[in-house]
Structure formats: C-alpha cells, structure tokens
Amino acid sequence: MKQEQLARKLSKWRRDFHQFPETGFLEMRTASIVAATLDELGFHLQYGREVMSEDHCMGKPDEEETKEHYEWAKNNGANLKYLHHFREGYTGIVATWDSGKKGPTVAIRVDMDALDIHETEVENHVPNMEGFRSVVPNKMHACGHDAHTAIGLGLAAMISENKEQLTGRIKLIFQPAEEGTRGAKSMVKAGVVTDVDYFIAIHIGTGVPKHHFVAANNGFFATSKLDITFNGVASHAGGKPEEGRNALLAAATAVQNIFAISRHSSGATRVNVGILQAGTGRNIIPNQAILKMETRGETSSINEYLREHVKAIVEGAAKMYNIDYEMNLVGEAKSCTCSKELAKRLHTVAESHPFIEQSVVENNNQAGSEDATFFIEEVQQNGGQATYCIIGTELAAGHHNEKFDIHEDTLLPAVEILYNAIVKLTETN
C-alpha cells in the first residue's frame, strides 16, 4: 500500500471512531471493527475474557448499561461477525503476528475509549465542518484515542504487507478504559505481556509540539480513583432529628480532612474530591452521601500513603456519625521509569524520520496518570524493556476539552516510526 493510500485509510478509520465514540468497557462497536480488520490482515486474535481478568476490571458499567450499549452498537455500524464477542463489556483485543523466525516479542499498546464530554457544535470545529463530529450526546474523543486506534490498525496493515522483513513476534494490544485508569490492570493480570521483551505505548499531543517526539515520558503520577458511599438513616429533620444518622455530615467531615492530609517529603502529591452528592430534601436527615475522588503521588508508595490516610479518615468519619460506608477502587495506575536503553533506540529511529524535527530521549516533567504503567512495570519485572512515547501534533484545544481535535498528518509518521522501531528491535537480536 502506498503512503498516500495508508494516510487516507488512517484518516477514514480515525474519523469513523471519532464520530461514534464509546467510553470505557463499552467500546463494542470500535472493538468489533478493529477485530474484523485485524482478522482480514491475517493476525491471530485473542479478545474478551481471554485477555482481560474479570476480577481486575475497575469501574466497569453495570449489566443494564452494558446491554443497552450493545443494542446501540448493533444499530450503529458495528461489525456483526465480531460484535457478540464483546457484548459483556470485555472489549480488549490482542493481535499477534508470528513471523515464524527466531526473535524477540515486541508489544505496542494503543487505547480505544472516549470521554463523557459533549463535543462543541461551533461551525469552525473541523469535525463539525467535515461531517465526523460525535453523533453521541455528551460523549466524544477528546484525548486522541480515536487516533491511537487508527494508528494501531495502520501499524497492523504495514506489518502484514511487509511480513518478510520481520522476525520474532509482534503483539498489538488494543486496550479499553484508559480514561479513569481502569483497563490496563485487567489485561496485565490476564498475562498478555508475560512473554514480551519490548513494550511501547504511544500517545499523540499532550503538549508536545508538532514534528517533535519524546521517546520516554516519565513523570506519571501513581493514582487511585475512589468511590465512597456513606449509608445512614433518614428521619424528619424537625420532628425526630435524633433518630436520623446523617450521611451528609459524615461525608462533609471526610472531605475536609481528606484535603488536610499532610503532604509528603519524598515527592509531589495530589488529592481531589470532584463529586459530593447527598440528601433528598431540606427537611430530611440525609441517609446517603456519595463521594467520587482521587489521590495521586509522584511514586506508587506516596500514592499508597495518601490512600491509606483517606481510608482512615473515611472510617473515622463514619464512626463519628454511627453510619456504615463502602469504599471502592474504580481506577488505578502506577508511577514508572521507562527503560532508557529502549528509549534511546526508539529515539534513534524517530530522529531519522523526515517528519520529526526534534526528538528527545526522555521527558521527566510531572505529568498526569496513565495505566500503561501497569504494562511497563510488568514487562520490566519480567526482565524486558518498556517505554511510553509521545508524537507531537497540532491541537485545536487541550486534551479533555470540548474543542479538542488533532492534525491528521501526524498519523502516518506515527505508524512508520513504530513499524521502523519494530524492525530495528527484531533485526538486531
């Protein structure tokens, strides 16, 4: 396939995924199209529970929402040959290309999920002007995962067409539910990278300018996403206040003290309560309160320090008001240090590509959180090398913004850099 043809295909895939966004563990339409495409290209496929541990899926939608979305996917262009494999919300895919020749195993991870954001309707927004704006109210690809999925398929096409050049094995990992750091752990626990020698995760944008490349993005915060429910007893606030057990007061007490957790001398910390919902009426003692919050630490141990303090605070607040509580972990990520040797080799490949004007080996600035760190940690613990790279692109607005959009001329170079890296990693061993 010529470069121009592949560039057009990448744009077509990306725009299709952009128009039909699906959030974490609901990427059924997306996964069905990905699986069908990979099958046509000759890859060996594993998907669903085969590549996802059911016990380690965090923040997964309930059965009713999952069933409703299955019907939506069926009516909105899903590949019906594959759709039923993803109907229960286990939407991960691992596609393996075995060259039949001795060599290492290289894995590339891309993510597929969208966000709960209503895409802007302003006229000059490119997806609006060119007819691929999200058709789903309050959901959009506002982080570039539509582009990542397209890059994964483009890479698969390039591998299939140039199979004679390759040795070893290549695994393409299409991960669900990166947003909220929910999906990677389940795939790691299912063993999808236990045999991997080299692991590369990719992202576009994230503040990296167009024509720039970062071979190792360190600085990810470890994080825990927590849903906390306080369960008390309702009562008439005027007639029988003493019979109530006030869940709202327990939640408010917890929130105040969570924000008062001491910072840590070993590194940066973050804590935030983003949602507090409680009560049903002004004259009713609230019998339930819900907190949705997160902790972040520069290292996994610092984040664990924060999480343990949150647990103690919540337990204490519940005891103060004689009520029960539940605290559920609905997302998690590690901190990481990418493998510098792999980053150097990736950097060498990137800087030789004509699209790239500047490549750096590593960036250690403090960043957000990413559950690709579970893959990175697992591969490194098994003796392999792993990194997280970024290819810069021009953005219409920042990530997680309703006006977010990318420059599609970044897609083909991303595919070519990853493919060239695979060739170099396999031919030199």
**Amino acid residing at 347:** H
Query: Which tokens sit at 207?
Result: 């503040």
143 annotated binding-site participant: yes
**Amino acid residing at 365:** N
| C-alpha–C-alpha distance, residues 182 and 58, integer Å | 5
Q: Please list the helix, strand and coil fractions of the chain in percent, rounded to the nearest 5, in that order.
A: 40, 20, 40
| DSSP label at residue 353 | S
Q: Which helix (H) or strand (E) holds 170?
A: strand 169-175
**Amino acid residing at 367:** A
362 annotated binding-site participant: no
| C-alpha–C-alpha distance, residues 420 and 384, integer Å | 19
Closest C-alpha among 78, 94, 68, 99 to residue 28: 78
336 annotated binding-site participant: no
400 annotated binding-site participant: yes
Provide the CB-side half-sphere exposure for 66 (13 A, CA): 15
Q: What is the DSSP string of 137-148?
A: TT-B--SSHHHH
407 annotated binding-site participant: no
Query: Which tokens sit at 169?
Result: 């094995």
| C-alpha–C-alpha distance, residues 191 and 351, integer Å | 33
Query: Which tokens sit at 154?
Result: 């483009």
For tokens 């206040």, the residue is 241
Which residues are CB-contacts of 154 (< 8 A; sequence separation ≥ 6)? Answer: 6, 9, 10, 13, 411, 412, 415
Which conformational region is residue 205 in: left (phi greater than 0), alpha (psi within -120 to 50 degrees), or beta?
A: left
**Binding site residue list for Mn(2+):** 143, 145, 179, 203, 400
Binding site feature residues: 143, 145, 179, 203, 400
